[in-house]
A and B are shown apart, each in its own frame.
Chain A
Amino acid sequence: MTFGLRRRENGALGAVSQRAGLPVWLWAAPLLFLGLFFFYPLSAVLRLAGEAALAEGLKGAPWSRLGGALWFTFWQACVSTLLTLLAGLPAAFVFARYRFRGKRLLSALLTIPFILPTVVAAAGFNALLGPRGWLNGLLMSAFGLNYPPVRIINTVSAILLAHIFYNTSVVIRVVGSVWAQLDNRLEQAARSLGASSWRTFLEVTLPLLRPSVLAASLLVFLFDFTSFGVVLLLGGPRFTTLEVEIYLQTMQFLNLPFSGLLSVLQLACTLSITTLYLWLNRRQPVPLSPRLSPDGLWSVRRWRQRLLVGGVIVGITFLLLLPLVALALRSFLVISPEGDLSLTLAYYRELFINRRQTFFYVPPMVALRNSLAYGAATVTISLALGLLAASALNRRGRFERWMDAILMLPLGTSAVTLGLGFLVVFTRPPVDLRSSPWLVPIAHSLVALPFVVRTIQPVLASIPSALRQAAAVLGASPWRVRREIDWPIATRAALAGAIFSFTISLGEFGATSFLARPEYPTLPVAIFRFLAQPGDLNYGQAMAMASLLMFICGLSVLVIENIERK
């Protein structure tokens, strides 16, 4: 018997021995993607800014606003992240550990806030919490007040609330998926050793959850850090963040040198935050045998459990779902000038009619198809690249640590700057994608990629290396090992990543609106068009279109999650 002459290809042992050579082929695609679609456009804009700075200097730079903007950006991002964790962790616990009726539906509904265009979310908040919203109406009639007691619109509370609204589902998904796979025998062991349930949580559960809590915090923080629409629309003109300032300086004042400087500052911040995250997360992950069968889900029996589960459900319903309900209701209601309410389907009917014969009429089914196609493309791109990158990240060397930070950069980079970069570089040779419909899903994938990597990587890291070695010994090539062991085990996480990508693509509007080809309008684009014109029909149709978007999002999430159950 002989082995013939099949020699080891370069790095074939990479999958097996953690210290073998760089898995170059794993990095190739993600690096190429980032290089071409992130660094290339970014550097083009920064070069433009640099040239302008050399020509005109940094005159007219409102330095006085810079300090305030920087401070407020950090402050609101920190507070928002903490509050989001506060809201998300109990919910993640309840979803990971309890069995209760309507859980799957609720979990699908909870992703919807993530996709809402800010304009629509703002409308939802107003319908609920605005001066004439439900809450104030209720309080005013209950206590006979003649002024609205709750005033949060255009305050910092509105910004924080909106950030919680948007990002709680991130915490629930990222932490919840790890929590659900924690072996609860570990907690039982701690309890039997005499630890109270609180001590058990602090000393056993939390340390094991730490990587996922850190990952969720980083995602949420970067999201809040570069928050644009929320600050602009719900915070109002008194609040300015780095991102808002970049937008103003670039798009309104055409002050490229200053906006370039701000972009660099923002990048530096993002890089430091990510480095801090990596430092906090530097310890080798504890390999945990994934618990693949969802046994040990608790039913709600004792009154304390009822209180907990009930409280969480009521809390997140109030926080995350009521604004959605308010929106959906509004799409079925006509308010007459006298203030009388009546039910109608007129807004939905009107969606299908191009009454003004306008060139830019968007048939809802076309918008829907485009949105779904962009979503599917984004899922495909970001999942493929994310799987490769997450696998490559499993080898922890200096290079990987840097790549880990770099992969997060797009999430913490100004959408305005990046969008401008796309416009500058992809509309001329050598890479003229001007008329390509791929530009939009590519831009979405840049934002989605960090989410995919952060959801998949911890799961891959927790797979015991003995499994990979066993597969290799049984004859699986390094590539086959990934395909047969890593990726199937990471399916659950990959699906969570897919849901993130899909919802990011479905809702993303601000950054890529100008990349969108008018031939391929999406649901958010259609909503925005309606909201840009006065008139009850326009508003109603915007609400109807938004309800359609929410419905499609919920449905898609249910479908994607159903794949997992099979």
Chain B
Amino acid sequence: MLEVRDIHKTYERRPLLQGVSFSVSTGETVCLLGASGSGKSTLLRIIAGLEQPDQGQVLWDGEDLAAIPVHYRRFGLMFQDYALFPHRSVAENVAFGLRMQGLPREEIRVRVLAALSQVDMESFAARRVTELSGGEQQRVALARALAPRPNLLMLDEPLGALDRTLRTQLLDELRKLLHHSGIPAIYVTHDQEEAFAIADRLVMLHDGRVEQDGSPLEVYARPASAWAARFLGFVNLLSGWVVSLDPLRVETPLGHWLVGDACSGADRSGKPVTLLIKPYGIVPAATRAECNYLEGIVQDVIFRGEDFRVDILAQGMEFQFFVDQPFQVGQMVRLNIDPQAVLCLD
């Protein structure tokens, strides 16, 4: 349905987007994930038609949108700070897009109420938007974006300014809503938890390019790069070089590691690679092992509800693991790591 093809955009003489391509298909929620300043919002604005790309195309059903002005695209956009019209009531805000479509008054009334009830805000219809709390504003903004039944819904960090509990709750509602309505959506965020919770597919932006594009499961299972891994919250990264190819064996300052997974980048011996050690699957070791062995001092133990996070310092490098049983802070630990939990990144 939506296809974004090789978008370039320079902002204040700095290249911001350098050939971004991805697509969104029917009913799909795509998450644009990237650090702040990575050009996510600009990309949204280009799709919406609020800005023109320097190069590249935005296509809908195969039709190039370059000549279609923003107000004919029928895309919904929910702004980062909601951009509610301060001079209009809640209901008037929601009715805005419907009025622009020139719908009859009665239909507008009905659909406004329906949209407000979707977000549980019917009783607020007559309120001024300036009197609303952050969460309430977020719901009104969502209702306003949904009410005209857009062909595509874009949400720009919609939960950015809210507190954690509210965020979790709204995130849940949002996911249900998006899946119920069947409207394809692009969800922009810098928070990987939010992204995992809501996305059918993740598109990670880095340095103006798509770093990785895939389902949350795929992405989490196999980050495409060290940057992607770090951005997804993985801490345990080790640089090294290939020693042997089959089985893949990598030498690092912390000894040799066997990698359980194939890696296209590691094609010859001596090639530098980055290893990602997943935070699970550690086994305390009785003795020093030849491979996949880590020895360090426990720096911190953090209770997470289900399990514990332990921070370990090994030869000046920080590692994080999730374990069922707490360790003692200051304790010296020896760990064996399952080769299946070790990935090789390009």
Chain A residues near B (Cβ < 8 Å): 1-3, 6-9, 12-13, 16-17, 289-293, 464, 466-467, 469-478, 480, 484-485, 488-489, 491
Is B308 close to A, CB under 8 A?
no
CB–CB B130/A17 < 8 A: no
Q: How far is the CA of A25 from the CA of B131 in the complex (A)?
A: 37
Q: CA–CA, A8 to B68, complex, Å?
A: 6
**Inside 8 A of A470's CB, which chain B residues have their CB?**
77, 79, 83-85, 144
Decide: A488 and B79 in contact? CB cutoff 8 A.
no
Shortest distance from the beta carbon of B293 to any chain A beta carbon, whole Å: 53
Contacts between the two chains (Cβ within 8 Å), count: 110
Chain B residue numbers with a CB within 8 Å of A292 are 86-87, 128, 130
- A474 near B96 with CB under 8 A, answer yes
Q: Are A6 and B72 neighbours in the complex by a CB distance under 8 Å?
A: yes
Inter-chain contacts of B86 with A (CB < 8 A): 289-290, 292, 467, 489
Q: Do A474 and B83 touch (CB < 8 A)? A: no
Cβ–Cβ < 8 Å partners of A12 in chain B: 69, 71
The reply to whether the CB of B74 lies closer than 8 angstroms to some CB of chain A is yes
Chain A: interface secondary structure?
loop
In the bound complex, how far is the Cα of B72 from the Cα of A471, in angstroms? 12
User: How far apart are the CA atoms of A13 and B68 in the complex, in Å?
Assistant: 10
A-B contact pairs, 10 of them (CB 8 A): A1-B60, A7-B67, A292-B87, A293-B128, A467-B86, A472-B49, A473-B70, A474-B97, A474-B144, A484-B85
B48 on interface, CB distance cutoff 8 Å = yes
Bound CA–CA A6/B67 (angstroms): 9
Q: Give min CB distance, A286 to chain B, whole Å.
A: 15
Known contacts A1-B151, A473-B71; 17 additional CB pairs below 8 A are A2-B63, A3-B65, A13-B52, A13-B69, A16-B70, A17-B51, A290-B86, A466-B80, A469-B77, A469-B79, A469-B83, A470-B144, A474-B96, A474-B97, A475-B72, A475-B74, A488-B88
Which residue on B lies nearest to A8, using beta carbons? B69
Q: A1-B151, A3-B63, A473-B48 are in contact. Are A466 and B81 (CB under 8 A)?
A: yes
Q: Is the interface of B mostly helix, strand, loop or mixed?
A: loop
Find out whether the CB atom of A13 lies under 8 angstroms from the CB atom of B70: yes
**Which chain A residues border B48 with CB–CB below 8 Å?**
469, 473
Q: Which residue of A lies closest to B94 (CB)?
A: A474
Assembly CA distance A6 to B52 (angstroms): 18
Q: Say yes or no: A469 contacts B85, CB within 8 Å.
A: no
- In the bound assembly, the distance between CA atoms of A489 and B87 in angstroms comes to 6
Q: Does B61 contact A (CB under 8 A)?
A: yes
Return chain B residues, CB-CB under 8 Å to A473: 48-50, 70-71, 73, 75-77
Q: Which of A13, A464, A480, A488 has the most CB of B within 10 A?
A: A13
Q: Which residues does chain B contribute within 8 Å of A478, judged by CB atoms?
A: 71
In the complex, residue of chain B having the shortest beta-carbon distance to the beta carbon of A13: B69
Q: Which residues of B contact A464 (CB under 8 A)?
A: 83
Q: Which residues of A contact B49 (CB under 8 A)?
A: 13, 16, 472-473
Within 8 A of A (CB), among B100-114: 100-101
User: Which listed residue, A1, A466, A480, touches B61 by the CB 8 Å rule?
Assistant: A1
Taking CB atoms, residues of chain B closer than 8 Å to A475 are: 71-72, 74, 97, 100-101, 148
Chain A residues whose CB sits within 8 angstroms of the CB of B69 once the complex forms: 8-9, 12-13, 477
Chain B nearest CB from A120 CB (Å) reads 40
Chain B contacts for A469, CB-based, 8 A: 45, 48, 50, 70, 77, 79, 83
A105 to B45, CA, bound (A): 48
Residue of B nearest to A293 (CB): B130
CB-CB < 8 A to B96: which residues of A?
471, 474, 476, 484
Tell me which residues from 122 to 146 in chain B have a Cβ below 8 Å from any Cβ of chain A: 128, 130-131, 144-145
User: Judging by beta carbons under 8 Å apart, are B130 and A16 in contact?
Assistant: no
Nearest-neighbour CB distance to chain B for A174, whole angstroms, equals 21
Residues of B within 8 A of A8 (CB): 67-69, 72
B164 CB, nearest partner CB in chain A, Å? 24
Complex Cα distance, B71 from A9, in Å, reads 12
What residue in chain A is nearest B128 (Cβ atoms)?
Answer: A293
Min CB gap B257→A, angstroms: 49
Binding site for A on B (CB under 8 A): 45, 48-52, 60-61, 63, 65, 67-77, 79-81, 83-88, 96-97, 100-101, 128, 130-131, 144-145, 148, 151
A466 touches B79 (CB 8 A): yes
A494 smallest CB distance to B (angstroms):
13
- Whether A17 contacts B87 by the Cβ 8 Å rule is no
Min Cβ gap B190→A in Å is 19
Which residues of chain B are near A16, meaning CB under 8 Å? Answer: 49-50, 70
Does B85 lie within 8 Å of A485, measured CB to CB? yes
Whole-angstrom distance between the Cβ of B70 and the nearest chain A Cβ: 4
Question: For residue A488, which residues in chain B have a CB less than 8 angstroms away from its CB?
Answer: 87-88
Please state if B63 and A467 are interface contacts (CB–CB under 8 Å): no
Of all A-B residue pairs in the complex, the 9 with the closest CB atoms, nearest first, are A475-B100, A474-B97, A466-B83, A470-B83, A473-B77, A8-B69, A12-B69, A472-B70, A475-B71
- Residue pair A474, B151 in contact (C-beta under 8 Å): no
- A12 CA to B144 CA, complexed, in Å: 23
Do A476 and B71 touch (CB < 8 A)? yes
Partner of B68, one of A3, A290, A291, A474: A3
Shortest beta-carbon distance from B115 to chain A in Å: 12
Known contacts A466-B81, A475-B148: does B68 contact A6 (CB below 8 Å)?
A: yes
Asked if residues A3 and B60 are in contact (CB atoms below 8 Å), the reply is yes
Residues of chain B with a CB closer than 8 A to A474's CB: 71, 76, 96-97, 100, 144-145, 148
Interface contact B71-A472, CB-CB below 8 Å: yes
Give the distance to chain A from B107, nearest Cβ to Cβ, in Å.
Answer: 15
CB distance from B277 to the nearest CB of A (A): 43
Choose among A3, A291, A293, A485 the residue with the greatest number of B CB atoms under 10 Å from its CB. Answer: A3
Residues of B contacting A484 in the complex (Cβ-Cβ under 8 angstroms): 85, 96
Which A residues are CB-close (under 8 A) to B63? 2-3
List the B side residues contacting A2 at CB < 8 Å.
61, 63
> From A4, which residue of chain B is reached at the shortest CB distance?
B72
Min CB distance B154 to A, Å, is: 8
Which one of B75, B85, B88, B130 has the highest number of Cβ atoms from chain A below 10 Å of its Cβ? B85
Min CB gap B67→A, angstroms: 5
Given the interface pairs A292-B87, A471-B85, A472-B71, the reply to whether A480 lies near B130 with Cβ below 8 Å is no
| Cα-based distance from A86 to B73 in the complex (angstroms) | 53
In the assembled complex, which residues on chain B have CB atoms less than 8 Å from the CB atom of A466?
79-81, 83
**Closest chain B CB from A52 CB (angstroms):** 54
Which of these, B74, B83, B128, contacts A467 with CB under 8 Å?
B83
- In the assembled complex, the CB of B195 is this many whole angstroms from the nearest CB of chain A, namely 23
Docked complex Cα distance between A542 and B151 (Å): 69
Residue of B nearest to A488 (CB): B87
> Which B residues lie within 8 Å of A472 (CB)?
49-50, 70-71
Question: How far is the CB of B248 from the nearest CB of chain A, in Å?
Answer: 49
> How far, in whole Å, are A464 and B65 apart by their CA atoms in the complex?
26
A197 and B52 CA atoms in complex are apart in Å by 46
Residue of B nearest to A295 (CB): B130
Measured CA separation A241–B75 after assembly (Å): 61
Bound: A1/B62 CA distance, A: 11
Bound form: Cα–Cα A292–B86 in Å:
7
Residues on B with beta carbons closer than 8 Å to the beta carbon of A13: 49, 52, 69-70
Q: Which of A13, A293, A474, A484 has the most CB of B within 10 A?
A: A474
Give A1 Cβ to nearest chain B Cβ, in Å. 6
**From B74, B83, B128, residue with most partner A Cβ within 10 Å:** B83
Q: Which chain A residue shows the least CB distance to B129?
A: A292
Q: Which residue of B lies closest to A484 (CB)?
A: B96
A474 smallest CB distance to B (angstroms): 4
Shortest A294–chain B CB gap in Å is 11
Chain A residue contacts of B67, Cβ below 8 A: 7-8
